[in-house]
Amino acid sequence: AQRVTQPEKLLSVFKGAPVELKCNYSYSGSPELFWYVQYSRQRLQLLLRHISRESIKGFTADLNKGETSFHLKKPFAQEEDSAMYYCALSGPGNTGKLIFGQGTTLQVKP
């Protein structure tokens, strides 16, 4: 079965510290993975997708098929990074359906 697991409900770091938000998945096939972010009182928005291999707001994520992981990283956290982060997997059949993890709240302290 397709599943996305984010083991941490809350991750609290100090400003300037490195951040790694964990995401593991199970999927039979070639997965397409995404990170979504929801800032306070805003709607959920796409942060990045593994296919584009881009860096957005200093965040990167590498797909590791051996470990079935897609961890989100940033070398130096900023207070404005505080938000809820969701890892998501595009489901089978190329319908656009997404399977979400439970989400991790990132809290960056000054």
Q: Which residues bind another protein (CB under 8 A)?
A: 4, 6, 32, 34, 43-46, 49, 86, 90-91, 93-103
Residue among 26, 2, 21 nearest 99 (CA): 2
Q: Tell me whether residue 38 or residue 60 sits nearer to another protein (CB atom).
A: 38
**Which three-class secondary structure string do you get for 34-98?**
EEEEECCCCCCEEEEEHHHCCCECCEEECCECCCCECCEEECCCCHHHCEEEEEEEECHHHCCCE
Nearer to another protein, 7 or 75 (CB): 7
Closer residue to another protein, CB minimum distance, 99 or 108: 99
Give the shortest CB-101-to-another protein separation in angstroms. 5
Q: Residue 103, Cα to own-chain centre: how many angstroms?
A: 8
Least Å distance, CB 11 to another protein, is 16
Find out whether 107 and 90 touch, Cβ atoms under 8 Å: no
Using the minimum distance from each CB to another protein, give the nearer residue, 34 or 70.
34
- Min dist CB 7 to another protein, Å, is 13
Q: How far is the CB of 107 from another protein (least distance, A)?
A: 17
